Amino acid sequence: MEISQTLIGAEFTPRVTYLNTATNGLLPRRSVRAVAALAEELAEGRPGGSGDWEAVNAARRSFARLTEVDEGRVAVGGSVSVHVELIAASLAPGAEVLFPEGEYASVITPFSVRGDLKLRYAPLDELAEAVRPGTALVAFSAVQSSDGRVADLAAVRAAAAAHGTRTLLDASQSAGWLPLAAGEWDYTVTAGYKFLLCPRGVSFLTVTEEAQEVLLPAHAGTFAAEHPWQTHTLYGPITELAHCARRYDESPAYLSYHAAEQSLALLEEIGLETVHAHDTALARQFRNALRERGTEPLGGDSTIVAVPGLGDRATELADAGVLVSGRAGNLRVTFHLYNTAADVDRVVECLAG
């Protein structure tokens, strides 16, 4: 099924050739309208507080459906690093955590700053083989930020199961284009401002029921109560936390979540299988064009394509109206639902000079 260009034209209005979703996704017009409506209400004196809790829960439910997990396993927050910190804090001193080499800093640093954990690294394509008895956690991104490489998810999951190792999957560069079954992992963390088309301030944590038994809700506040907004949950310690992953909720940034409700609904309307087929087809077209010109790209069958050694040309392309990014020496080009074959032709033309 093809993406409706009528729908895309109504929702997205880029003024440049935008190939930079791995940095930040574009906001749909419906999401912009939701933010504007709430901002106007806040300016005029909104009677119901700073936003609608139902919008937050609608976003939670959409994310749960998009990632094939029960909504009771989804917590909402504002950043991936805060979610990861909860998981890092749950480990016993001396626990071994395994990462891919070159993993994104927000996945590693909450563990490294503790100072009492054993951190180990392996090449991404050898990550499954590096899981061993005594490895407490393997933490990695489904898709690497620097070059778009897709991890062998099945192999890592199988190796972790064989050794009794818990898993932490960062889906920030995959959720929204690569189908994900979040329930297959002990923990997943996802930034909403990339392929999920949300503003910054939206992130999701999923936790299996078993992992909820060991993960301490260290930043529990009013939103973590089983019955929020009742007098006994507003003052004094909360005596009954939510009986699900909502106990890990942060206080939501309502403006961002009002937008997230609309952005995630749009992705559901289009369907992730359709988005996946669209995005990867454009990426393959770009890779083939690079190969015809003698350049071998990185990333495999990913919507993120890295061109080795050309990272310093990102500024030049921006001056020509083509937005990409430079990462780890690579020129990182990203395709998403609002891109077309004409965008591929445009970036190829610019690279050819």
Domain boundaries, the chain: 5-27+271-352, 34-269
What per-residue string of b and e applies to 117-126 under the rule 16 or more CB within 10 Å gives b? beeeebebee
| Among the listed residues 194, 217, 261, the one whose alpha carbon sits nearest the alpha carbon of residue 38 | 261
pLDDT of 348 reads 97
| Among the listed residues 53, 16, 57, 11, the one whose alpha carbon sits nearest the alpha carbon of residue 32 | 11
pLDDT of 244 reads 96
pLDDT of 41 reads 96
CATH number for 5-27+271-352: choose from 3.40.50.300, 3.30.70.120, 3.30.1330.40, 3.90.1150.10.
3.90.1150.10
pLDDT of 271 reads 97
pLDDT of 228 reads 84
What is the 3-class SS of the chain, one letter each residue? CCCCHHHHHHHCCCCCEECCCCCCCCCCHHHHHHHHHHHHHHHHCCCCCCCCHHHHHHHHHHHHHHCCCCHHHEEEECCHHHHHHHHHHCCCCCCEEEEECCCCHHHHHHHHCCCCCEEEEECHHHHHHHCCCCEEEEEEECECCCCCCECCHHHHHHHHHHHCCEEEEECCCCCCCCCCCHHHCCEEEEECCCCCCCCCCCEEEEECHHHHCCCCCCCCCHHHECCCCCHHHHCCCCCCECCCHHHHCCCCCHHHHHHHHHHHHHHHHHCHHHHHHHHHHHHHHHHHHHHHCCCCCECCCCCEEEECCCHHHHHHHHHCCEECEEECCEEEEECCCCCCHHHHHHHHHHHHC
pLDDT of 231 reads 66
Q: Which portions of the chain are predicted below pLDDT 70? A: 231
**pTM of the complete model:** 0.96
Give me the architecture of the 34-269 domain, per CATH. Answer: 3-Layer(aba) Sandwich (3.40)
* Sign of CA pseudo-dihedral 91, 94, 96, 99: positive
93-133 tens-digit pLDDT:
999 999 999 999 999 999 999 999 999 999 999 999 999 99
pLDDT of 2 reads 87
